[in-house]
Amino acid sequence: MSSNAFGKLFTVTTFGESHGPAIGCVIDGCPPGLALDAAEFAHDLQRRATGKSRHTSARREADEVEILSGVYEGLSTGTPIALLIRNTDQRSKDYASIGQQFRPGHADYSYWHKYGIRDPRGGGRSSARETTMRVAAGVVAKKWLRERFGVTVRGCLSQLGGITPNGFDWSVVEDNPFFWPDAAQVPELESYMDALRKSGDSVGARVHVVADNVPPGWGEPIYGKLDGELASALMSINAVKGVEIGDGFASAAQKGTEHRDLLTPGGFASNHAGGILGGISTGQPVTASIVLKPTSSLRLPGASLDTEGQVIEVVTTGRHDPCVGIRATPIAEAMMALVLMDQALRHRAQCGDVGHVTPRIPGKIDG
């Protein structure tokens, strides 16, 4: 029931600060028999990594995962899987000057008011460095979902500042540093980001994430709904200020005849619902979008206060992403995978492994 843990049955507890000795997580509830190797984490961690392109923070971390427990002779044993990554490229001195300052728009202020003490180095616990472990845990969830149910999760950037995709092609998303679905726009994004970085400012973004092949029936009404858990999971990502499922906010202006997904013998005729009705998956792709605010750590000065209440002007000199949304794609995928994995286990706990798409025969217990 830890606040640093996510998931009811597939429970991921993360720990670690941006500039502490290490970050890590404990995954509890992984089914036994899943093949796992430390090398499998590299791909998604690399996708999330800072320093992948000039458009993200210059911090370089090896992000080498050590599996400390829960795997024996290459297979999960059902016991907790602990993963550890040592921090190697901290530059804590960058933050010496802001230890007593509140950066406008940063968690500095709220952490200090909550705890009366905070680790100012790189944002401490509030740093997006923590999301590394979400991605690592997501690798485990993604693999089990894929092997057990054929479920796949993928994401892309769907807005960067004022720019939105002209076209949409999943096949190009992994080929550019922005996870952008229209290859023709990449030069425009490059120029935009170069100018932004030069200006010292930052910008917001949107990320879209989709899970395919999710069976109908996952999600627990009323307060453990699939969309409710997705909302919590995605909103918990650093800088996220909004979450949509399916048509999301566009639904406000829609008519019922326009929004409802008609059912045909070949399946649903559309997917305005984003694959969820009443908090339970329908078998359609599960779709969600999130918005990430612009980074608050800026080289451009901003009026603020220090811990003594004195008026100051804050300038941040550490290494930061001018658009945190760019690297948020694999993080959002990971959070969706964690939610689906958890719901998969919750579903079979209550409804059993088999038979849940066939109506119960009255009086017969097969659940």
Token representation of residue 304: 């603020």
**In a 10 Å sphere around its CB, with 0-12 CB exposed, 13-18 middle and 19+ buried, how is residue 318 labelled?**
buried
Do residues 292 and 206 touch, judged by C-beta distance below 8 A? yes
The partner residues of 153 in beta bridges, in order of sequence, read 211
The answer to whether 302 and 104 have CB atoms below 8 angstroms apart is: yes
Single out the residue of 1, 39, 171, 198 in contact with a copy of itself (rule: CB under 8 A). Answer: 1
Residue from the set 193, 298, 334, 336 that interacts with a copy of itself by CB under 8 A: 298
DSSP single-letter state for residue 129 = G
- Report the nearest approach of a copy of itself to the CB of residue 22 (Å): 5
**What CA–CA distance (Å, rounded) separates 261 from 244?**
17
Name which position in 39, 171, 198, 303 contacts a copy of itself (CB under 8 A). 303
The reply, when asked if residue 126 is annotated as ligand binding, is yes
- Binding of residue 20 to a copy of itself (CB under 8 A): yes
Q: Among 128, 56, 108, which residue's Cα sits nearest to residue 314?
A: 108
Task: Candidates 46, 114, 166, 194: give the one binding a copy of itself (CB under 8 A).
Answer: 114
* The one segment of 46-54, 56-64, 187-195, 272-280 that binds a copy of itself by CB under 8 A: 272-280
Residues 6 or more apart in contact with residue 20 via CB below 8 angstroms: 87, 119
Q: How far is the CB of 309 from a copy of itself (least distance, A)?
A: 7
Positions 66 through 85 that interact with a copy of itself (CB under 8 A) = 66, 68-70, 72-75, 77-82, 84
Per CB under 8 A, the list member of 39, 162, 171, 198 interacting with a copy of itself is: 162
Contact 61, 49 (CB under 8 A): yes
Please check whether residue 285 is in contact with residue 267, taking contact to mean a CB–CB distance below 8 angstroms. no
Q: Residue 202 interacts with a copy of itself (CB under 8 A)?
A: yes
Q: What is the β-pairing status of strands 286-292 and 240-245?
A: antiparallel
Binding residues for a copy of itself, rule CB under 8 A, total 175
- Residue 285 binding a copy of itself, by CB under 8 A: no
**Phi–psi pair at 53, nearest 5 degrees:** -145, 175
**Window contacting a copy of itself (CB under 8 A); options: 44-52, 178-186, 265-273, 326-334:** 265-273
Please, which of residues 116-135 interact with a copy of itself by CB under 8 A?
116-119, 124-126, 130
132 assigned ligand-binding residue? no
Under the criterion CB under 8 A, does residue 220 sit at the interface with a copy of itself? Answer: yes
Site for a copy of itself in 82-111 (CB under 8 A): 82, 84, 102-111
- Is 60 among the residues that bind a copy of itself (CB under 8 A)? no
d(CA 107, CA 100) in angstroms, rounded, equals 13
Cα–Cα distances (Å) from 247 to 53, 190, 270, 292, in that order, read 32, 29, 11, 18
The annotation places the binding site for NADP(+) at: 48, 54
Give the annotated binding-site residues: 48, 54, 125-127, 238-239, 278, 293-297, 319
